[in-house]
Structures are given as structure tokens and as C-alpha cells.
């Protein structure tokens, strides 16, 4: 092995260690107060902000703004996972991520999460120092994902998902079976349980009624024994709000997240950081559960 290769490998190892340290620091805050995960989509087709941050400069500026606004972690995604999205290859996903990720990790001042279900994208992101992998398929789509996460000592979000919605099923029982399978994959892959969070997957493979049922079931999901991340921000679940499209969905999002916090949910993936900081501060002042 040449000296240059040894230097490069040593640099990647050091960066991975920094990511693991950032992950541990972030996870140590879980349970102390509601934690806010700011969303940056470097995609042309995400449902709320698709195309707004596809340019690396715009994505970086938005991520730094979210961090300055008070996000505890910033989540960057390069493939839309909205219903009806067009899948992209790991190569295209990384082409979108690479120009922004390393600089963001270096400059954000908060941990950085990467939203991907592909092990190759996760591996590259973790080598750049990402602290957490947010997998919308709960380690079940790519058989290498658990091993990649375990090797980096990063945190991981295991989200419930289905290919299609089925109004006839018991969604809570389906979620329990899904999480049981995912957690077994995590254990076999060597992921430390202290680095795992669960996400009920609001808006993914569920009818509207099942989405509300999943929110109502948060206390039951917390009984599984892991922190819960909730991602309801601006989703079509709230499409019938009477005010303007964005304002109505924001109000509905905050209402749902305050309910989730009162149930004991831990992390909230949102587009609107300042507004959620204010809402959680009011909850804290009142002395609400979860605050």
C-alpha cells in the first residue's frame, strides 16, 4: 500500500470517527427534550420543496440556515420518497449529495443525517462524517445496509414502510411485525441498540385513516423500547386544511408534532425549525409531557 493510500484511508477513518462521535452526542440528548431534525432535499421532485435546493450552493445555504435556526441535526436527502416518486440509482443519488455533504458536515455545527435506503450511498456518506442514516425501508431494502451502519457506529432511523396501502390491515400490528424484522436485521448486522430510533412512517404505505391511527398509537410504539422519530412535516395528510396550502399544512404539522411530543416522541423531522422551536418552548413552559 502506498503512503498516499494509507493517508487517504487514515483520513476516512478519522472522519468516520468524528461522525460516530457526533452521533453519540446527538443520541445522548434524546429524551431530554424534543429534538428537531431540519430537512434539506437536494432533489427535483420532493413533494414540498422539490427543486428549490438542487443546486449545491442553495442546499448548503438552506442547511446552514436550519442549523442557525436551532435544528439539532440536519437531514439531507437526494432521492424523493414521496408516493409515485421516480427511483434513482446510487450513482445519481451520490452525484447530488457529494457537492454539498462534506462542506455541510464541516460547517453546520450540528450533526448531519443522510436520508437513504442504499448501502453504497450510506457508506460514502459515513466516510464523509455523517452521523446518522435515515432509512425509509428500515434496513429491509438493501441487505448490506445494517453492516455498513454497524461498521461506522452511526445512528440509524428504522422507518416503517409498505409498497402499497391496504385499508383492510391492522396497521399497528403490521408496524410491530415490520419493526420486529428490522430490529432482528439490525442485531444480526451488529448495530448497537443504543443507536437505533424507530419511525412510524407517516405518509408511507398507509391510508389517511391509518396515518392518523399510527400517530394515535405512538405510546404503543414507544413500548417497543426505542426512541421515536416523527416525520409529518407538510404532508398530504393535511391537504384539507382550510388556510393557504403551506400555512395550513404548517399549522397542522405543529399540532400533530405537539401531540406526538405529549405522547413521548423524541425527534421531529421538519421543514420549519423556528416555528417548532417556538411551539416546543410553549409546551415546555406549560410543563407538557415530552417537553
Q: Annotated catalytic, 12? A: no
How many CA atoms lie less than 13 Å away from 238 in the CB half-sphere?
Answer: 25
Selected catalytic residue, list 123, 195, 206, 269: 269
Q: List pLDDT tens digits, range 123-165.
A: 999 999 999 999 999 999 999 999 999 999 999 999 999 999 9
pLDDT at 53: 59
- In this structure, are residues 249 and 235 in contact, taking their beta carbons and an 8 Å threshold? yes
In a domain, 280, yes or no: yes
In a domain, 67, yes or no: yes
In a domain, 291, yes or no: no
H helices of the chain, in order, are: 3-28, 56-69, 90-107, 119-127, 145-152, 171-189, 208-216, 218-222, 245-263, 273-286
Residue 236's CATH number: 3.20.20.20
Q: Annotated catalytic, 141? A: no
pLDDT at 11: 61
In a domain, 152, yes or no: yes
pLDDT at 131: 97
Whose CA is closest to 174, among 200, 137, 145?
Answer: 200
**Number of domains making up the chain:** 1
pLDDT at 247: 76
Selected catalytic residue, list 141, 235, 277, 284: 235
Q: How many CB atoms lie within 10 A of CB 38?
A: 28
Positive or negative: CA dihedral 81, 225, 261, 76: negative
Q: What is the mean pLDDT of each run of 10 residues along the chain (291 residues)?
A: 55 81 94 96 60 74 94 92 73 91 92 97 97 98 97 96 96 98 98 97 96 97 97 87 70 95 97 96 82 54
For the chain, how many residues are written? 291
- In this structure, are residues 71 and 37 in contact, taking their beta carbons and an 8 Å threshold? yes
In a domain, 157, yes or no: yes
In a domain, 262, yes or no: yes
pLDDT at 57: 86
pLDDT at 51: 47
Domain around 202: 3-286
pLDDT at 82: 60
Amino acid at each position: 500500500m502506498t503512503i498516499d493510500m494509507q493517508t487517504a484511508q487514515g483520513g476516512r477513518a478519522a472522519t468516520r470517527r468524528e461522525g460516530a462521535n457526533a452521533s453519540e452526542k446527538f443520541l445522548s440528548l434524546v429524551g431530554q427534550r424534543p429534538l428537531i431534525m431540519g430537512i434539506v432535499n437536494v432533489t427535483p421532485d420532493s413533494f414540498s420543496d422539490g427543486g428549490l435546493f438542487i443546486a449545491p450552493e442553495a442546499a448548503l445555504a438552506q442547511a446552514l440556515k436550519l442549523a442557525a435556526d436551532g435544528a439539532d441535526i440536519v437531514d439531507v436527502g437526494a432521492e424523493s420518497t414521496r408516493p409515485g416518486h421516480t427511483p434513482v440509482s446510487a450513482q445519481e443519488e451520490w452525484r447530488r449529495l457529494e457537492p454539498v455533504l462534506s462542506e455541510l458536515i464541516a460547517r453546520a455545527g450540528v450533526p448531519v443525517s443522510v436520508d437513504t435506503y442504499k448501502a453504497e450511498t450510506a457508506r460514502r456518506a459515513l466516510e464523509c462524517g455523517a452521523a446518522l442514516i435515515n432509512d425509509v425501508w428500515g434496513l429491509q431494502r438493501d441487505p448490506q445496509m445494517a453492516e455498513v451502519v454497524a461498521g461506522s457506529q452511526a445512528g440509524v432511523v428504522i422507518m416503517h414502510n409498505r409498497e402499497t396501502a391496504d385499508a383492510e390491515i391492522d396497521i399497528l400490528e403490521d408496524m410491530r411485525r415490520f419493526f420486529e424484522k428490522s430490529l432482528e436485521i439490525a442485531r444480526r448486522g451488529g448495530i448497537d441498540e443504543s443507536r437505533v430510533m424507530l419511525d412510524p412512517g407517516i405518509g408511507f404505505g398507509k391510508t389517511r385513516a391509518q396515518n392518523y391511527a399510527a400517530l394515535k398509537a405512538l405510546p404503543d410504539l414507544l413500548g417497543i423500547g426505542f426512541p421515536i422519530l416523527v416525520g409529518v412535516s407538510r404532508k398530504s395528510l393535511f391537504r384539507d386544511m382550510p388556510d393557504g396550502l403551506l400555512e395550513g399544512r404548517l399549522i397542522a404539522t405543529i399540532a400533530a408534532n405537539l401531540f406526538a411530543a405529549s405522547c413521548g416522541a423524541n425527534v421531529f423531522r421538519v421543514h420549519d425549525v423556528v416555528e417548532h422551536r417556538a411551539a416546543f418552548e410553549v409546551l415546555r413552559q406549560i410543563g407538557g409531557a415530552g417537553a
